[in-house]
């Protein structure tokens, strides 16, 4: 069967050319996929004309233009007397694969050309190693701060997740952060005597163009974590509540602090330390954002992060292990699950994130600041009810684009005013559009995914 639309594993082309080879390379560098020759970008069957030597010539061209050379599987199909050729490849075990010196990877339904850093990442990932495990060029054990290592050893042994020797040198060797007297990249980033200038840039903004204050933090990663957290706290608003007969005030932070710390740790641990760009944190009146100059690593997607069962890959294995052993992270790949649990007590809080070509952006925003520890049950129930109603309404429209308001009223058990309110809200957000007549027969709804 021919797929209905292009996606992360499917590409449509009307004819053979370099763009077909680029798609095959992009599939090899991702999870595999297939190019359907003889279809336009809407999936309409146009067919291709095959000569006796066409397939052989195409395969030779693909082989000669790719490194390592790839040879796709070929499947020829007939649909209403029109010929469709399907060229398919599996994920290549040794990545990255290139097409005439250029590297591509499939992202959603498009081919993304990889940067030099992304190419290096993909190579390391395919060999199941990480950059931070490599020796730091020109460094020796003397370049490490023994006091910082000793504090780290004490914290690791206190948590009980692992036991390290009391002395710094054997401890580093046990963690594979020191080999023949040469520290790894992770060891230097974590414990170097000198500041390697891996910065965390924190700014307090009144508007995107008006900066109230800003601070650059760098140094040992554990110290950076604590200083950055304290700096963020200094910019946050706190509400105070006195309950019962007690005169003790309860502090209610603007955002759940566990969630803030989780995003900060996530940015530090999973950062691409080959990138010259800083981690950037922006604090506004009712929102805070964390920009990590590193996109998602491995095959994980933004949609995966929305589930409670995703399996994350680790860009920096030794750095992640160090933060795990000191109890700064609970378990690899569980941070976003804990964030969703933390913000559940904040009724109007929104947690949004997106992967970009040059990094990953995540953050929180709210409409009304939480001012009471009891401010959860009613508002959470109302918000959940609204979200459920909206999703049901959209599902009904997807199933029947010509559905009428009367039918929606009956299905949703809402008044006409209630249905009209939801429809107006969805139209204003650009999620819903009506074509044809506005009322009665002949009109159709169109849902836009955002």
CA distances from 300 to 6, 108, 333 (A): 19, 12, 10
- Has domain 378-447 been given CATH number 1.10.20.10? no
Q: Which residues contact 245 (CB under 8 A, 6 or more apart)?
A: none
Q: Quickly tell me which residue has 């007690």 as its tokens.
A: 246
Whether the CA torsion 164, 168, 174, 177 is positive or negative: it is positive
Distance CA(350)–CA(343), nearest Å, equals 8
Q: What is the pLDDT of residue 378?
A: 44
Partners of residue 74 on adjacent β-strands: 87
CA distances in angstroms from 142 to 24, 41, 50, listed in the order given: 48, 60, 68
Q: Each residue's pLDDT tens digit in the chain (450 positions)? A: 788 899 999 999 999 999 999 999 999 999 899 999 999 988 999 999 999 899 999 999 999 999 999 999 999 999 888 999 999 999 988 889 999 999 999 988 899 999 887 888 788 777 767 889 999 989 999 999 999 999 999 999 998 889 999 999 999 999 999 999 999 999 999 999 999 989 999 999 998 889 999 999 998 899 999 999 999 999 999 988 776 655 667 888 999 999 999 999 999 999 988 888 999 999 999 999 999 988 888 778 888 888 877 777 788 999 999 999 998 887 666 788 889 888 888 888 999 999 886 789 999 999 888 887 766 544 444 444 566 778 888 888 888 888 888 888 888 878 888 788 888 888 877 788 887 755 545 678 888 764
Cα–Cα distance between 89 and 24 in angstroms, integer?
7
CATH number for 200-316+325-365 (one of 3.30.70.1250, 2.40.40.20, 3.30.565.60, 3.20.20.10): it is 3.30.565.60
Alpha carbon dihedral 135, 137, 138, 142, in 10-degree steps, equals -40
How much is the pTM?
Answer: 0.64
- Alpha-carbon distance of 178 to 397, in angstroms, equals 60
Q: Where are the beta strands (DSSP E) in 190-338?
A: 200-207, 210-217, 238-241, 250-253, 279-283, 287-292
The rounded distance, in Å, linking the Cα atoms of 43 and 7 is 12
Closest CA to 150 of 170, 125, 178: 170
Give the pLDDT confidence score for residue 379 in this predicted structure.
45
> Is the domain covering 10-114 a CATH 3.30.950.30 domain?
yes
| Structural domain spans, the chain | 10-114, 133-191, 200-316+325-365, 378-447
């Amino acid at each position: 069967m021919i797929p209905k639309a292009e996606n992360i594993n499917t590409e449509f082309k009307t004819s053979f050319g370099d763009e077909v080879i680029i798609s095959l390379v992009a599939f090899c560098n991702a999870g595999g996929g297939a190019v359907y020759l003889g279809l336009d970008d809407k999936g309409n069957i146009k067919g291709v004309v095959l000569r006796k030597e066409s397939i052989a010539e195409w395969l030779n061209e693909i082989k000669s233009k790719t490194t390592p050379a790839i040879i796709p599987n070929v499947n020829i199909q007939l649909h209403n007397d029109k010929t469709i050729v399907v060229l398919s490849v599996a994920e290549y075990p040794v990545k990255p694969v290139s097409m005439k010196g250029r590297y591509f990877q499939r992202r959603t339904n498009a081919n993304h050309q990889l940067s030099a850093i992304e190419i290096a990442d993909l190579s390391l990932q395919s060999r199941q190693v990480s950059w931070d495990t490599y020796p730091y060029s020109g460094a020796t054990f003397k370049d490490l701060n023994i006091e910082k290592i000793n504090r780290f050893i004490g914290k690791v042994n206190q948590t009980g997740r692992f036991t390290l020797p009391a002395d710094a040198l054997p401890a580093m060797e046990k963690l594979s952060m020191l080999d023949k007297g040469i520290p790894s990249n992770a060891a230097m980033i974590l414990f170097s005597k000198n500041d390697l200038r891996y910065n965390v840039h924190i700014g307090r903004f009144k508007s995107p163009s008006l900066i109230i204050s800003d601070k650059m933090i760098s140094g040992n990663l554990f110290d950076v974590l604590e200083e950055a957290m304290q700096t963020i706290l200094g910019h946050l608003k706190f509400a105070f509540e006195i309950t019962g007969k007690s005169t003790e005030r309860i502090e209610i932070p603007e955002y759940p602090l566990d969630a803030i710390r989780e995003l900060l740790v996530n940015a530090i641990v999973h950062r691409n330390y080959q990138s010259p760009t800083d981690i950037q944190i922006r604090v506004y009146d009712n929102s805070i954002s964390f920009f990590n100059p590193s996109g998602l690593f491995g095959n994980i997607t933004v949609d995966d992060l929305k589930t409670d069962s995703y399996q994350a890959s680790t860009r920096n294995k030794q750095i992640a292990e160090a933060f795990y052993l000191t109890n700064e992270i609970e378990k690899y790949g569980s941070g976003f699950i804990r964030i969703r649990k933390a913000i559940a007590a904040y009724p109007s809080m929104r947690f949004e994130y997106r992967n970009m070509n040059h990094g990953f952006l995540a953050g929180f925003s709210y409409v009304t600041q939480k001012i009471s520890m009891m401010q959860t049950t009613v508002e959470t129930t109302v918000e959940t009810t609204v979200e459920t109603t909206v999703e049901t309404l959209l599902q009904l429209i997807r199933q029947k684009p010509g559905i009428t308001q009367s039918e929606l009223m009956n299905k949703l058990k809402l008044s006409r005013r209630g249905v009209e309110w939801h429809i107006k809200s969805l139209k204003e957000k650009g999620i819903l559009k009506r074509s044809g007549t506005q009322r009665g027969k002949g009109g159709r709804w169109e849902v836009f995914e955002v």
